[in-house]
Amino acid sequence: MDDARIQDQIEGLVAEEHELQNAGGDPDSHERLQAVKVELDRCWDLLRQRRAEEEFGLDPDQAQARDAETIEHYQQ
């Protein structure tokens, strides 16, 4: 997946996140909102990896999406 496709996916997820936040508090919306947030984190991580690879003259296509468990346990 190239940077433009990742960015498009991020934009779609952000739009969905905003819709879900405005939808109210039903349990299904809350679960989906949490899933969207995790997927956003994964997309941003992949985009950062690709940019770092490119910055150091490496092949950005070698970057791989990390699993949700790994992403959600990063220390800020």
51: amino acid identity, one letter: R
50 vs 12: CA distance, rounded Å: 20
pLDDT-based confidence at residue 75 (cuts at 50, 70, 90): low
Record the tokens describing residue 8, joined without a space: 């498009």
In the Cβ-directed half-sphere of 27, how many Cα atoms lie within 13 Å?
0
* AA identity, residue 27: P
What's this model's pTM, rounded to 2 decimal places?
0.89
Name the burial class of residue 28, with classes exposed (0-12), middle (13-18) and buried (19+) by CB atoms within 10 angstroms of its CB.
exposed
pLDDT tens across 20-74, in order? 999 877 888 899 999 999 999 999 999 999 999 999 999 999 999 999 999 888 7
What is d(CA 63, CA 73) in angstroms, rounded to the nearest whole number? 19
